[in-house]
Amino acid sequence: METILKVEGLKTYYFTSTGVVKAVDGVNFTMQRGESLGIAGESGCGKSTLAYSLMNLVPPPGKIVDGSIILDGMDIAKMDEDSLRNEVRWKKVAMVFQGAMNALTPVYKIGKQLAEPLVIHGNISEDEAIEKAKEILPKVGLDPNIINRYPHELSGGMKQRVMIAMALIMNPDIVIADEPTTALDVIVQAQILNLLKKLKWEMGINLILISHDLSIMAEVVDRLIIMYAGKIVEIGNSEDVFGKPNHPYTQGLLNSIPKLGTHELNYIPGLPPDLRNPPKGCRFADRCPYVMDICRREEPPMFEVGNGHYSYCWLNR
């Protein structure tokens, strides 16, 4: 297997007026070519910040303060803005942003918006770029003639398809989809997930899917990272994480998913910690049903709990 992305010791902090928010605080993982990777966690766990970090596109007052993101021999974390624009964004790593409804500008036609990354990054004329845009639209299940339409003429699902087409247009190595279906209805969501799968099989895109919804993850990703309060708590192949969850947070999260056919309702008591001042030991300790003394004292290291399956929990000591 070929490693296409290697993230080591990544720290991304937000320097706010009320303190430093450690949104991503020491994250390590690798991604292999051909696999879809999921990053799951609840709001505020740092998953979107991690996604933005992978393009070195963290909005101020956020900043990557430490660590490396190695892609194709380049360290994205340390590149300057010009080389990021010229070499990385859209060409190597592209992103389908959250909230397709608002990500398109209402005043330009779809064709012009789709062509824009090509004109800026690809050094070709707008007419040529629009021709290329027409070629990519059928791949995402859209009629090429919609290049002459405005965003308000499209449904939410169609707009999301346009956003996916835009991410694909420079033929990137990695496509990051940040909550690509949150604002969509369940049927449209199923259609978009089908599309992502097809793109993976037919075009060989390497997908990173960010979502709070583990059911969606199960439908798409091969390998899954669970984040909690700025840290990875568990990482493994989907079968293992869903079948043999090791970390108590993963177990609680899986239990919290309402299922058809059962009438059980479970939740994880308590709240995540304040990331301006995270607790010393394990960040999940306050909500953990199995908490021990050491959990509050020392941060848990990574334990290998299965083949390629890792968990950051002292229970595995």
Partner 1 sequence: MGSVVDVTEGMFFPDEKNVMVVRDLSKYFPVRRGLSDVILRRPARFVRAVDHIDLDIPEGKILSLVGESGCGKTTTGMTLIRLYDPTSGSIFFEPKEETLDKLKREVGNLDIYNGYIDIAKLPAKYVKFLRTDMQIIFQDPYSSLNPTYRIYDILEEPLKVHGIGESEDERRDMVLKALEEVKLVPAEDIAARFPHMLSGGQRQRVAIARALLLNPKFIVADEPIAMIDVSLRAEILLSLMELRDKHKITILFITHDLTIANNISDYIAVMYLGKIVEIGTPDEIVNNPLHPYTKALIKAIPIPDPSMRNKLKDIWIKGEVPSAVNIPSGCRFHPRCMDYEFHPEIQERCRNEEPKLIEVEKGHYAACWLY
**Site residues for partner 1 per CB under 8 A:** 42-43, 155, 157-158, 185-191, 193-194, 197-198, 212-222, 238-239, 242, 252-254, 256-269, 271
Residue among 297, 275, 295, 298 at smallest CA distance from 284: 295
CB atoms closer than 10 angstroms to residue 265 = 8
Our CB check for partner 1 shows the closer of 60 and 269 to be: 269
Based on its alpha-carbon atoms, the radius of gyration of the chain, rounded to whole angstroms, reads 20
C-alpha–C-alpha distance, residues 172 and 151, integer Å? 24
C-alpha–C-alpha distance, residues 58 and 21, integer Å? 13
Closest distance between partner 1 and the C-beta of residue 38, in Å? 10
Our CB check for partner 1 shows the closer of 1 and 271 to be: 271
Contacts 24+ apart (CB under 8 A), 274-281: 275/21, 275/22, 275/23, 275/25, 275/44, 275/46, 275/229, 275/230, 276/16, 276/18, 276/19, 276/20, 276/21, 276/22, 277/19, 278/22, 278/25, 278/229, 278/230
Our CB check for partner 1 shows the closer of 69 and 288 to be: 288
Our CB check for partner 1 shows the closer of 43 and 123 to be: 43
- The crossing angle, in degrees rounded to 10, of helices 156-168 and 110-122 is 20
Distances, alpha carbon 250 to alpha carbons 5, 25, 125, 228, in Å: 24, 19, 49, 9
Closest distance between partner 1 and the C-beta of residue 224, in Å? 8
Our CB check for partner 1 shows the closer of 107 and 265 to be: 265
Our CB check for partner 1 shows the closer of 217 and 225 to be: 217
Closest distance between partner 1 and the C-beta of residue 288, in Å? 12
Closest distance between partner 1 and the C-beta of residue 131, in Å? 27
Q: Residue 269 — left, alpha, or beta (φ > 0 → left; ψ -120 to 50 → alpha)? A: beta
For residue 272, what is the DSSP state?
P
Our CB check for partner 1 shows the closer of 139 and 197 to be: 197
Closest distance between partner 1 and the C-beta of residue 34, in Å? 13
Strands 303-306, 206-211: pairing is unpaired
Our CB check for partner 1 shows the closer of 56 and 160 to be: 160
Q: Which helix or strand (DSSP H or E) is residue 235 part of?
A: strand 231-237
Closest distance between partner 1 and the C-beta of residue 210, in Å? 14
Closest distance between partner 1 and the C-beta of residue 76, in Å? 28
SS3 23: strand
Closest distance between partner 1 and the C-beta of residue 186, in Å? 5
